[in-house]
């Protein structure tokens, strides 16, 4: 059973818009999960040593025999315009592709340095496509940190893929957003059990499975940060199925229900298919709710998952949201979420980090969801924190992961509760 709809949701809540200093990772971060998903793709960042360090430290241990991402480092002479960076890039790419015939998709990923020197990666991609097609398709997008947040990297990547998708007139369902394969398979199995055929995924695991797109394509987003991809698919004639995002038992049910309605799945069949996994999800969430219920949560803007997660935590885990910050508020995509989120929290868009920190300190929430850069100082001030980036790296979608999603938020509260009796002794020892 879903919680009753709120008497007043947040659909018309005024939004506090802030445009100040921000504390976020850049869009290069998306490569970490995208390269795991797209098994014949290579991501070539055209950037500086800083970009290479970010990728290496975020990626941790390389788990593949051959890497699926790398950095073409712009040296000082490139940045000073003393050499033709385009020619060097062509040479690097030719060397890479001759050594790695397994690469079928190559993404040239722009960075702050490549944008500062106005290196035209679109022109480079066109030139390389002419040289390396049809074996390799070369695309480009920007992962630059200027005015972006880390989940925009995936959005930019998927949006860059859309124009290259083959046209079709077939009625197909497209699931949009990179999910771990095992989670994607769960969604596909549920849709298949409802009799929905012709389901494709963007991104596909291999380029040979790339979906087609056309006026009879309908698409459902699995991530809330895919505004540009949504726009690109709409331009190709596809139609979006609006729905809450598949986080938690309720979000998953409503996401599936929206698709089931689109495909005229009989209600009895829908109920039958979701009954068991939904019951498992509710049970798993209930096991964690004791820790979360009655606690307050404050979201700094970071992953763009904030509004759906606030909906999940307030409606299914008994938490109270104080502030829900989001880097960008895409009104159309968020409409079903805002209708479900009960009136009460401050909704903020963008960031002025000092002002927001002051609000968080004044509110003293039980749990603060924020980026890595803010988490440690806030922990030192006695606030329990959750790293927003973990929510993107961890499988959290659909029924079978709903308990894990709740547990991610419960863990810092449990840890703090365990450490609390030790705090006086630790202070005395300092
Ligand atoms: S793209 Fe920009 S923000 Fe990201 S690592 Fe490179 S220099 Fe830093």
Distance from the alpha carbon of residue 112 to the mean position of ligand 1, in angstroms: 5
Q: Is the pLDDT of residue 235 over 80?
A: yes
**Within 13 Å and on the Cβ side, how many CA atoms surround 68?**
21
Task: Output the CA–CA distances (angstroms, integers) from residue 260 to 73, 175, 211, 411, in the order listed.
Answer: 48, 13, 20, 35
Q: What percent of the chain has pLDDT over 70?
A: 94
pLDDT attached to residue 430:
60
Share of the chain above pLDDT 90, in %: 77
Choose which residue among 22, 23, 31, 47 to substitute to test ligand 1 binding: the one with the highest number of ligand atoms within 8 A of its C-beta.
47
CA distances from 378 to 132, 382, 383, 412 (A): 50, 7, 5, 13
Closest-lying ligand 1 atom to the alpha carbon of residue 145? 3
Supply the CATH classification number for the domain 172-267. Answer: 3.40.50.1980
Strands 320-326 and 296-299: parallel
Q: Is the pLDDT of residue 347 over 70?
A: yes
pLDDT of residue 247: 98
- Which of 142, 145, 153, 156 to mutate for ligand 1's pocket (most ligand atoms within 8 Å of CB)? 145
What pLDDT score does 1 carry?
60
For residue 65, what pLDDT band results from cuts at 50, 70 and 90?
Answer: low
Q: Helix (H, G, I), strand (E, B), or coil: what is residue 258?
A: helix
Residue 88, H or E segment: helix 85-99
Distance 425 CA to ligand 1 centre (A): 42
Q: For residue 134, is the peptide bond before it cis, meaning its omega torsion is within 30 degrees of 0? A: yes
Each residue of 155-197: pLDDT tens digit? 999 999 999 999 999 999 999 999 999 999 999 999 999 999 9
Could you identify the atom of ligand 1 that is nearest to the CA of residue 54?
Answer: 5
Mapped to the 3 state alphabet, what secondary structure does 12-64 carry?
A: CCCEEEEECCCCCCCHHHHHHHHHHHCCCEEEEEEECHHHHHHHHHHHCCCCC
For a ligand 1 pocket test, name from 29, 49, 72, 144 the mutation site with the most ligand atoms within 8 angstroms of its C-beta: 144
Residues 257-298 have pLDDT tens digits of: 999 999 999 999 999 999 999 999 999 999 999 999 999 999
| Token pair recorded at residue 306 | 């904030």
Residue 74: phi and psi, rounded to 5, are -80, 120
Q: Which atom of ligand 1 is nearest to the CA of 26?
A: 4
| Structure-token pair, residue 400 | 């079978």
- State the distance from the centre of ligand 1 to the C-alpha of 342, rounded, in angstroms: 37
Q: Is 145 in the pocket of ligand 1 (CB under 6 A)?
A: yes
pLDDT at 309: 98
51 pLDDT more than 60: yes
> What single DSSP character describes residue 422?
G
Angle at 119 between CA 114 and CA 121, to 5 degrees: 100
Q: What separation in angstroms does the CA of 351 have from each of 86, 300, 327, 369, 371?
A: 36, 8, 7, 14, 12
The rounded Å distance from CA 395 to ligand 1 centre is 26
Residue nearest to atom 7 of ligand 1 (CA): 112
Task: Examine the pLDDT at 11 and tell me if it is beyond 90.
Answer: yes
d(CA 127, CA 91): 12
Cα-to-centroid distance, 141 and ligand 1 (Å): 14
Confidence of residue 426 (pLDDT cuts 50, 70, 90): low
Which ligand 1 atom is the nearest neighbour of the CA of 112? Answer: 2
If you search the block for the tokens 């291999």, which residue do you land on? 206
Could you tell me the pLDDT band of residue 386, with boundaries at 50, 70 and 90? very high
Whether residue 47 has its Cβ less than 6 Å from ligand 1: yes
242 pLDDT higher than 90: yes
User: Comparing 82-86, 240-244, 312-316, which segment has the lowest mean pLDDT?
Assistant: 82-86
DSSP assigned state of 194: T
**CB-hemisphere CA count at 13 Å for 211?**
28
CATH 3.40.50.1980 fits 15-22+280-422, yes or no: yes
Residues 241, 312, 33, 151: is their CA dihedral positive or negative? positive
Q: What average pLDDT does the chain have?
A: 92
Atom of ligand 1 nearest to the CA of 55: 5
Point out the least confidently predicted range of 19-33, 281-295, 385-399.
19-33
Residue 268 CB neighbour total at 10 angstroms: 8
Query: Which strand (E) or helix (H) includes residue 282?
Result: helix 267-292
Confidence of residue 58 (pLDDT cuts 50, 70, 90): confident
> What is the rounded CA–CA span in Å between residue 6 and residue 23?
32
Which band of pLDDT confidence, cut at 50, 70 and 90, is reported for residue 314?
very high
**Cα 151 to middle of ligand 1, angstroms:** 14
Domain boundaries, the chain: 15-22+280-422, 27-148, 172-267
Q: Is the CB of 55 under 6 A from ligand 1?
A: no
- At 56 the pLDDT is 81
Q: Which fold has domain 27-148?
A: Rossmann fold (3.40.50)
Q: Are 275 and 336 in contact (CB under 8 A)?
A: no
Tell me the pLDDT tens digit for each residue of 194-222: 999 999 999 999 999 999 999 999 999 99
- C-alpha distance from residue 4 to each of 86, 90, 250, 373 (Å): 58, 58, 11, 37
Q: What's the rounded Cα separation, in Å, for the pair 41 and 30?
A: 14
pLDDT at residue number 332 = 94
Q: What is the mean pLDDT of residues 378-404?
A: 94
Locus of tokens 């209708």? 339
Distance 108 CA to ligand 1 centre (A): 15
């Amino acid at each position: 059973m879903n919680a009753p709809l709120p008497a007043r949701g947040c659909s018309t809540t005024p939004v506090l818009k802030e445009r100040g200093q921000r504390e976020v990772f850049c869009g290069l971060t998306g490569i970490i999960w995208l390269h795991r998903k797209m098994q014949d793709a290579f991501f070539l960042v055209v950037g500086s040593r800083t970009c290479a360090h970010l990728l290496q430290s975020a990626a941790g241990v390389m788990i593949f025999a051959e890497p699926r991402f790398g950095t073409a480092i712009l040296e000082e002479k490139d940045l000073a315009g003393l050499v033709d960076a385009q020619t060097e890039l062509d040479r690097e790419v030719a060397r890479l592709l001759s050594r790695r015939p397994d690469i079928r998709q190559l993404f040239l990923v722009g960075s702050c340095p490549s944008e500062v020197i106005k290196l035209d990666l679109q022109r480079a991609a066109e030139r390389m496509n002419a040289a390396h097609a049809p074996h390799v398709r070369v695309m480009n997008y920007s992962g630059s940190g200027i005015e972006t947040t880390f989940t925009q990297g995936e959005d930019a990547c998927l949006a860059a893929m859309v124009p290259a998708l083959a046209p079709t007139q077939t009625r197909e369902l497209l699931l949009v957003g990179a999910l771990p394969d095992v989670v994607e398979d769960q969604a596909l199995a549920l849709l298949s059990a409802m009799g929905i055929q012709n389901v494709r995924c963007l991104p596909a695991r291999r380029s040979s499975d790339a979906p087609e797109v056309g006026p009879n394509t309908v698409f459902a987003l699995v991530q809330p940060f895919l505004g540009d991809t949504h726009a690109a698919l709409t331009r190709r004639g596809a139609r979006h199925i609006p729905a809450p995002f598949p986080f938690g038992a309720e979000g998953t049910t409503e996401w599936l229900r929206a698709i089931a309605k689109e495909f005229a799945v009989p209600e009895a069949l829908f109920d039958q298919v979701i009954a068991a996994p939904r019951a498992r999800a509710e049970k798993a969430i209930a096991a964690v709710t004791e820790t979360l219920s009655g606690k307050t949560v404050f979201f700094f803007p970071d992953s763009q998952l904030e509004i759906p997660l606030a909906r999940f935590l307030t409606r299914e885990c008994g938490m109270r949201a104080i502030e829900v910050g989001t880097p960008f508020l895409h009104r159309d995509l968020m409409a079903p979420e805002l209708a479900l989120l009960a009136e009460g929290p401050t909704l903020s868009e963008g960031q002025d980090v000092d002002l927001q920190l002051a609000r968080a300190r004044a509110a003293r929430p039980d749990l603060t969801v924020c980026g890595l850069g803010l988490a440690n100082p806030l922990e030192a001030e006695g606030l329990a924190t959750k790293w927003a980036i973990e929510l993107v790296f961890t499988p959290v979608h659909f029924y079978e992961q709903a308990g894990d999603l709740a547990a991610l938020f419960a863990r810092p509260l449990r840890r703090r509760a365990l450490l609390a009796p030790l705090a006086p002794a630790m202070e005395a020892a300092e």
